[in-house]
Amino acid sequence: MLGGYVGKILRVDLTTGTISKLNSYNYVPQFIGGIGLGYRLLWDEINADTTEWSPENVVIFTSGPCCGTPVPTSGRAEVVGLAPQGYPKPWAAVSGFGGDFGPKMKFAGYDAIIITGKATTPKYLLVTEKEIQIVEAAFLWGMDIYGAQSELISRHGDDVATACIGPAGENLVRWATIMSKTRSAAGQGGFGAVMGDKKLKAIVVKPGSVRVPIASPEKLIAEVRKVSGELSPKGQNRQPLFTDRGSFSIRCASCAYSGCTGAVNGCLQPYFNNVPKKNTGTGSLSGGLYCAAFAADYFLLKKGITEAENFEMGKFIDTLGLNCWEIFEGTNWFIQTCQNDGRLDSLMGEKVTLNPNGPAVYPKTDWNTGMPTELAVKWIRGIAYREGEGDIWAEGTPRAAEKLGLADEVWKTHKHGYGPHWDGRYVQFIHYPVWVVSALAWATQGRDPFNQEHGYPERYGNFVKEWKEMMGGEIIHGTKTFWDTDKIPYRDLVKAGAKLYGAPYANEGWDKPELGYIDKEYVTVWHNHRAIIKSSVPVCDRQFPLLFDPDAEDKLGDIDAEVRLFNAVVGTDWSLDEMNKAAEKAFNVMRAIHIRQGRTRKDDESVIPYFEQPAMWPEEPVPQSIDANKFIDLLNRLYKLRGWDSNGCPTRAKLESLGLKDIADGLKLQENK
């Protein structure tokens, strides 16, 4: 028996009330776990006619073999399904989250949970080691996320893990989240709306006596010690663990214990305790800060808000079950872009000017000129409850743009239905030619892939000695990386990239712009596969892969770390090439689902206009916008490298070589000539 897996997949049909269990070993380890397992299950569950609102659309919760073990940063879970946020179609997508749901799902005896069908009245699912119950949940319907979870915890014990939706999910807001406790959320994709459509308020998991088997405990201990020592030990101790703010306090946790990997940046993930509410009701709030409140401060609210109000706004969005990232770096930037073009000067019936001085491409100057707090609360609440104009924004920014007659603006801020995220156009400071790889990754997937692929644009870019991280003109990291190591000269990283990716020009282009589109398909495929590995093992996306080491002769880091951890837990003896082959299999299943949904190369090429906008680095003497012809040629080379045809469809030969003949048959692919 393999280690790492507990052997069962729970399947619940809410239409019929049928509860069944599948054998995990029909799928693992060949699909690893996590999103690799999730995509394979999704292919089996849906068909070409399935939409986001079809009863047969599923919400799949899954984790991997290292979850529930001492492997550092492995407490992760993934949600997989057809994502309502996708545009123009609800492309199959994934959304990851941290916290205790993944481990406790396994401690209850399940490697994954599949939810299909639709209930006629509100329900929640109670999962224990001994029984599965579909429980009436009318008393929870209408509750916000924190209130509902508090009620469930009071009924079932402090040790339960929860995955819950709020009013946004109940009202089918296309970018509604699934929240776990107070700081972990499956944010992108809108899977909260799929749960709402199924009338499923929450999943409650009670951990039992099941423990994750470990094939080689001594080997695992040795690997954990080695890898833990490589995970930025200095960066986790730069700030005090506890600070007093008078009416509330702030606790800082290291990345091994925080719900978000922001801890590894040296800032340490702050956790706010008992912050009094001012603008959204009575009582107090606790939870993590990071992306949500940071973005509220810089992109949404007017200048002058307090630290507590800033945190309160982020948690207010969480309680309603809305995606903070889409509000701040999607919808809000779309509104700013429209206003820069002289359009959309009112919101919810009130005049509002978000950023009158920013250029059309990026609101780089005069930040903190957002809307009054009262209007922001009204707008956000209107979206969650689909009240008035909020009903338009609840459909997601691209669909809202169509209704508002602004479809000619939305391409400037959104791709495949999602706002900017690590693509080099906006707030993430990504240099040429890194954003060329970002564009290629965006083109060929259903959503922004940087929930799993931070490791290239962020980790690589942060190591380049000549690339100083900038924020409003201020150098915020100097000669040190986020991980408190020395930076590496660009020329040395070019050599390291040639070895790592097996392509001589993989990291070339910054000081030789003519090489910016050469060999980038190899970089893209490498990180596509590593993303599958990280989110299937699972380990933290932002910490892994350990790409570079300034003290190593070849400047490469511990590239095999994830594979060795996997092998120690599962008992396999896979090489990195074998692990990459498993990831390639999962990636092609994902692409096959998209093809069955009707995807063509036209959808892939739809990202080109977005990247034709200049990036936010006008002072750099390098290309700032994409060369469409060179990019199309690069896309062709990527298709060829992947074994796909000229329309981006995996060939029968490729699928059969990966052991996916049933998927080739399902796509009705012809024999290759």
CA 329 to mean position of chain CA atoms: 14
Per the listing, tokens 């499923």 go with: 200
Residue 146 pLDDT more than 60? yes
Q: Locate 477 and state its tokens.
A: 């990291």
Tell which residue, 324, 351, 339, has the closest CA to residue 406.
339
Full strand arrangement of the beta sheet holding 184-186: 132-136, 123-127, 200-205, 161-164, 178-180, 184-186
Q: What is the pLDDT of residue 474?
A: 42
In the structure, what pLDDT confidence band is assigned to residue 296 with cuts at 50, 70 and 90? low
Q: What pLDDT sits at residue 1? A: 66
pLDDT of residue 425: 80
Residue 266 has pLDDT above 70, yes or no: no
For 19, other C-beta atoms within 10 Å of its C-beta total 14
Q: Is the pLDDT confidence value at 500 over 70?
A: yes
pLDDT at 362 over 90: no
Q: Residue 143: pLDDT above 50?
A: yes
Q: What values do phi and psi take at 193, rounded to 5?
A: -70, -35
DSSP result, 358-410: S-SS---SS-SB-B-HHHHHHHHHHHHHT-TTHHHHTT-HHHHHHHTT-HHHH
Read off the pLDDT of residues 2-57 as tens digits, 9 standing for 90 and up: 899 999 999 999 999 999 999 999 999 999 999 999 999 999 999 999 999 999 99
User: Mean pLDDT for the chain?
Assistant: 88
pLDDT at 476: 47
Residue 261 neighbours by CB under 8 Å, 6+ apart: 73, 98, 255, 269, 540, 541, 542, 543
Give the pLDDT confidence score for residue 252 in this predicted structure: 65
User: 416 pLDDT exceeds 60?
Assistant: yes
Residue 667: is its pLDDT beyond 90? Answer: yes
- Check whether 479 has a pLDDT greater than 80: no
Proportion of the chain above pLDDT 70, given as a percent: 87
Q: What is the pLDDT of residue 530?
A: 96
Q: How far apart are CA 42 and CA 114, in angstroms?
A: 9
Query: Which string of b and e fits 147-180 if b means at least 16 CB within 10 Å?
Result: ebbeebbeebeeebbbbbbbbbbbbbbbbbbbbb
Per this entry, what is the length of the chain? 673
pLDDT mean over 327-350: 86
**What pLDDT does residue 480 have?**
77
Complete domains list, the chain, with CATH: 8-205 (3.60.9.10), 235-320 (no CATH), 324-410 (no CATH), 434-666 (1.10.599.10)
| pLDDT band per the 50, 70, 90 thresholds, residue 301 | low
d(C-alpha 563, C-alpha 365), whole Å: 44
Q: What is the mean pLDDT of residues 340-363?
A: 69
pLDDT value at residue 289: 62
Min mean pLDDT across 220-234, 390-404, 485-499 is at: 220-234
Q: Are strands 249-253 and 242-244 parallel, antiparallel or unpaired?
A: antiparallel
Residue 97 burial by CB count (10 A; 0-12/13-18/19+): exposed, middle or buried?
Answer: buried
In this structure, what token pair is assigned to residue 252? 């800082």
Check residue 442 and give its pLDDT: 93
Q: What pLDDT does 361 receive? A: 39
pLDDT recorded at residue 257: 34
Q: Could you read off the pLDDT of 547-579 as tens digits, one per residue?
A: 999 999 999 999 999 999 999 999 999 999 999
Distance CA 506, CA 434 (A): 10
pLDDT band per the 50, 70, 90 thresholds, residue 244: confident
Q: Which of 229-233, 316-320, 391-395, 647-651 has the lowest average pLDDT?
A: 229-233
Lowest average pLDDT, out of 244-253, 263-272, 475-484, goes to 263-272
